[in-house]
Amino acid sequence: MRKVRYSLTVWFFLVLFTGSVSADDRRIKDFFGTYIGHAETAEELGRDMSVSIGPIAGSDDYYVKWSTVIHKSSDRTKRVTYNIRFTQSRRNAVHISAMAQDVFGKAVPLDPTKGDPLVWARIKGDTHTVYAMIITDDGGFDLQVYNRTLNKDGMWLEFTRKQDDLLPKKITAQLIRVSE
């Protein structure tokens, strides 16, 4: 009887603590560093991109900061920068954004029902994915997915954007690691 109870206890804790994280999945520290690259696009003159992923001192949290310079024409550019803090959720494979503070000063996600983005991340295999979803004013959605896959040269970026009934937009680029 004691052996059965011990086996069930071990099985329960294995299931509880492994969740859906595979042993083959990378750890976030494998992605730490700064990466840069360029993507050619049909509707613009291209995009210069950078991403930095690193630890946040004094915590187990980490940040992902990315910037894109969109060359719309020879004399017109647009720069977009995001810097998001991620923290572990109650689910092993899910990291949630911590972009706001509650009344106690704890970092928490924004509220998507107020027009703020719902942002979360996961690691699956060699890929760190950031999902950002916005509920539009008319109740539709705008979903952006950033797949960043480690490779021998640095990181392969695959960005997809899907808005309601519009055709998805996809941009890919090889990003080179420029610092650890």
pLDDT tens digits for range 124-134: 999 999 999 99
Burial 60-99 (b: 16+ CB within 10 A, else e): ebbebebebebbeeeeeeeeeebebbbbeeeeebbbbbbb
* 125 is a domain residue: yes
Q: Which two tokens stand for residue 153?
A: 């040269």
**Residue 7: what pLDDT?**
39
Comparing 18-22, 55-59, 61-65, 107-111, the range with the smallest average pLDDT is: 18-22
On whether the pTM is more than 0.95, the answer is no
d(CA 113, CA 105): 21
* 1 is a domain residue: no
Comparing 88-92, 100-104, 176-180, the range with the smallest average pLDDT is: 100-104
Based on the structure, what is the number of domains in the chain?
Answer: 1
**Residue 18: what pLDDT?**
39
* 172 is a domain residue: yes
Q: Which residue has the tokens 């810097």?
A: 83
* 120 is a domain residue: yes
**Residue 22: what pLDDT?**
58
**Residue 23: what pLDDT?**
60
Q: Domain containing 74 — which CATH number?
A: 2.40.128
pLDDT tens digits for range 12-48: 333 333 344 556 789 999 999 999 999 988 777 899 9
pLDDT tens digits for range 97-152: 987 777 777 767 778 888 888 999 999 999 999 999 999 989 999 999 999 999 99
**Residue 1: what pLDDT?**
46
Provide the residue range defining the domain that includes 27. Answer: 22-179
Pairwise pLDDT comparison (60 vs 42), residue with the higher score: 60
Q: Residue 86: is its pLDDT beyond 60? A: yes
* 47 is a domain residue: yes
